[in-house]
C-alpha cells in the first residue's frame, strides 16, 4: 500500500506540474493538423511536449527497452510507411512489456510494446495500430484531451499495473494515461484514418478488423470472469473500448477490397521469431493463462514455430493447474518434442511429469535426452540427481 501511495503522489505531481500551463498553442494549422514545430514552453502544448520529452528521456534508460539492432529499425520502417508525411517526426522505442499497447506522444515519441508485436499476425495488423496512433498524433487528439481533461480516473488503473511491477516507467505512465484518454469519436476517427493510411501504403484492408476482433476474442478467453466481461482496449491507456460497432465500421471500409497479402504472415513471423520465447515467458507473468493459451493458438495457426509454441502451451497448462491441465501440459510437451525448434527445457519438463505419473522408463529417456542436449545447463545437477534417484528406485 505504501508503494501504491508513493506512486500516486509522484504521478499527481507530474500531472499537476503539466496542467498548470494554460496558454493557447500555435503548433496546429487551421484544419487541426500538426505543423510539426516545437511549441513555446509557455503554451499548454509546450507543457505537454516538455512532459513527453521527459518521458522519452526516461524511456531510453529502461531495462524493458528492446535493444535488438534490427527490431526497432524494422518497426520504425513500418511506422514510416503509414505515417508518410510525418515519418520524420517519429522516434520509435520498442518496449518488452507484455501488454497490447502503442502510443505516440505529441513530440513524436512513439512506444510500441512487445505485447502488441506478439499479437499482430502480420505487418498489416501492426501497421494499422501504428497508423491509428499516428492519426491521433496528426490530428492533435492528445492536445484536445490534455485541454479538456477533467478526470484522472484512468490513472488508478495504470497505477495498478505499475504497482504490479511489470510496467515500470512511472513518468511515462503518468503522462500517457492523461494524454491518451481519447473520446469515442476520436477513436472512431483514428480507426478510419489509420485504415486509409494502411491501405494507401499497400497493406491488407482486412487486417484492421481482424486484429480488433482477435483482441476481443482474447478478452473472452480470460481465466477470470471479471476480465471476460470487461471491455477490450487497443491500448492500456485508452478509455474507449474496442466495440463491435468499431469493428463493423472497419469491416464496412474493407468490404469489396481485395486482400493482396499472401505470405505476409510468414514474413512478419520471420521478423519476430527470435523474440517468441522471451515474449511468451513475459506474457505468462500476467498470470492469465487462458489468454496466453488463446494467443499461442493464434500464433500456432499458421503451422510455424510449433516446438516453441507447444512448449509454452505446456508451461501455461502446468502453471495454471485447473482440472485436466496436467494432462494437457504433458500432451503439449510431448507435441513440442517432435519439432526441431523445441527448447531443450521440453525434455526436463517431460521427465518431471512422466516421473510423477510413474512412467519411469519414459521419464528416464526424457531426462537423459535433456542432459545430452543441455550440456551447459545450470540445473544439470538437479536432473542428474533425479535420474540417480530413479535408477536406484528401479534397482531395488
Ligand atoms: Zn486510439
Quote the CA–CA distance of 119 and 375 in Å, as a whole number: 33
pLDDT digits (tens, 9 = 90+) for 214-223: 999 999 999 9
Ligand 1 midpoint to CA 192 (Å): 11
Ligand 1 midpoint to CA 40 (Å): 26
Percentage of the chain beyond pLDDT 70 is 78
Residue 378 has pLDDT above 90, yes or no: yes
Largest CA distance in the chain: 88
Q: Tell if the pTM clears 0.85, that is, is over it.
A: no
Partners of 102 in the beta sheet? 112
Ligand 1 midpoint to CA 12 (Å): 23
Ligand 1 midpoint to CA 234 (Å): 7
Ligand 1 midpoint to CA 340 (Å): 40
Partners of 110 in the beta sheet? 92, 104
Ligand 1 midpoint to CA 334 (Å): 42
Place of cell 500555435: 26
pLDDT digits (tens, 9 = 90+) for 235-251: 777 767 899 999 999 99
Ligand 1 midpoint to CA 287 (Å): 26
Question: What's the rounded mean pLDDT across residues 111-140?
Answer: 94
pLDDT digits (tens, 9 = 90+) for 189-203: 999 999 999 999 999
Ligand 1 midpoint to CA 189 (Å): 9
* Choice among 11-15, 206-210, 341-345, 379-383 with the minimum mean pLDDT: 11-15
Quote the CA–CA distance of 84 and 130 in Å, as a whole number: 12
Residue 157 has pLDDT above 50, yes or no: no
Ligand 1 midpoint to CA 182 (Å): 6
Ligand 1 midpoint to CA 190 (Å): 6
* Choice among 70-79, 149-158, 312-321 with the minimum mean pLDDT: 149-158
Q: CA 337 → CA 306, 345, 358, distances in Å?
A: 10, 10, 20
* Of 170 and 288, the one with more pLDDT: 288
Partners of 282 in the beta sheet? none
Ligand 1 midpoint to CA 330 (Å): 41
Ligand 1 midpoint to CA 105 (Å): 12
DSSP 127-181: HHHHHHHHHHHHTTHHHHHHHH----HHHHHHHHHHHTTSS--HHHHHHHHHHT-
- The pLDDT assigned to 186 comes to 87
Ligand 1 midpoint to CA 148 (Å): 17
The number of angstroms, rounded, from the C-alpha of 140 to the middle of its chain's C-alpha atoms is 24
* Choice among 5-14, 92-101, 270-279, 334-343 with the minimum mean pLDDT: 5-14
Ligand 1 midpoint to CA 207 (Å): 16
Amino acid at each position: 500500500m505504501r508503494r501504491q501511495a508513493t506512486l500516486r503522489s509522484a504521478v499527481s505531481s507530474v500531472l499537476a506540474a503539466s496542467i498548470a500551463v494554460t496558454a493557447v498553442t500555435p503548433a496546429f494549422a487551421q484544419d487541426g493538423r500538426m505543423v510539426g514545430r516545437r511549441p513555446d514552453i509557455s503554451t499548454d502544448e509546450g507543457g505537454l511536449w516538455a512532459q513527453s520529452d521527459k518521458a522519452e528521456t526516461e524511456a531510453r534508460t529502461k531495462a524493458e527497452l528492446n535493444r535488438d539492432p534490427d527490431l526497432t529499425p524494422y518497426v520504425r520502417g513500418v511506422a514510416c510507411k503509414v505515417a508518410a508525411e510525418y515519418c520524420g517526426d517519429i522516434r520509435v522505442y520498442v518496449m518488452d512489456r507484455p501488454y497490447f499497447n502503442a502510443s505516440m506522444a505529441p513530440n513524436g515519441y512513439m512506444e510500441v510494446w512487445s505485447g502488441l508485436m506478439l499479437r499482430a499476425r502480420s505487418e498489416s495488423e501492426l501497421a494499422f495500430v501504428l497508423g491509428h496512433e499516428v492519426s491521433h498524433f496528426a490530428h492533435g487528439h492528445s492536445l484536445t484531451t490534455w485541454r479538456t481533461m477533467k478526470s484522472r480516473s484512468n490513472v488508478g488503473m495504470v497505477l495498478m499495473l505499475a504497482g504490479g511491477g511489470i510496467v515500470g516507467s512511472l513518468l511515462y505512465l503518468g503522462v500517457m494515461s492523461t494524454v491518451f484518454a481519447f473520446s469515442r469519436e476520436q477513436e472512431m476517427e483514428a480507426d478510419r484514418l489509420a485504415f486509409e493510411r494502411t491501405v494507401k501504403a499497400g497493406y491488407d484492408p482486412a487486417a484492421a478488423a481482424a486484429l480488433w476482433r482477435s483482441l476481443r476474442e482474447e478478452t473472452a478467453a480470460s481465466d477470470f470472469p471479471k476480465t471476460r466481461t470487461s471491455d477490450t482496449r487497443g491500448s492500456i491507456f485508452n478509455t474507449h473500448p474496442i466495440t463491435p460497432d468499431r469493428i463493423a465500421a472497419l469491416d464496412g471500409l474493407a468490404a469489396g477490397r481485395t486482400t493482396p497479402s499472401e505470405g505476409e504472415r510468414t514474413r512478419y513471423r520471420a521478423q519476430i521469431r527470435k523474440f517468441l520465447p522471451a515474449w511468451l515467458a513475459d506474457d505468462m507473468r500476467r498470470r492469465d493463462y487462458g489468454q496466453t493459451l488463446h494467443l499461442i493458438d493464434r500464433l500456432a495457426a499458421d503451422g510455424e514455430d510449433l516446438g516453441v509454441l507447444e512448449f509454452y502451451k505446456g508451461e501455461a497448462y502446468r502453471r495454471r493447474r485447473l482440472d485436466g491441465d496436467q494432462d494437457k501440459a504433458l500432451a503439449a510437451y510431448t507435441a513440442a518434442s517432435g519439432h526441431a525448434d523445441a527448447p531443450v527445457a521440453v525434455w526436463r519438463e517431460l521427465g518431471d511429469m512422466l516421473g510423477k505419473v510413474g512412467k519411469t522408463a519414459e521419464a528416464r529417456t526424457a531426462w537423459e535426452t535433456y542432459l545430452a542436449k543441455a550440456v551447459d545447463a545450470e540445473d544439470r545437477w538437479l536432473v542428474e540427481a533425479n535420474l540417480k534417484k530413479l535408477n536406484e528406485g528401479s534397482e531395488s
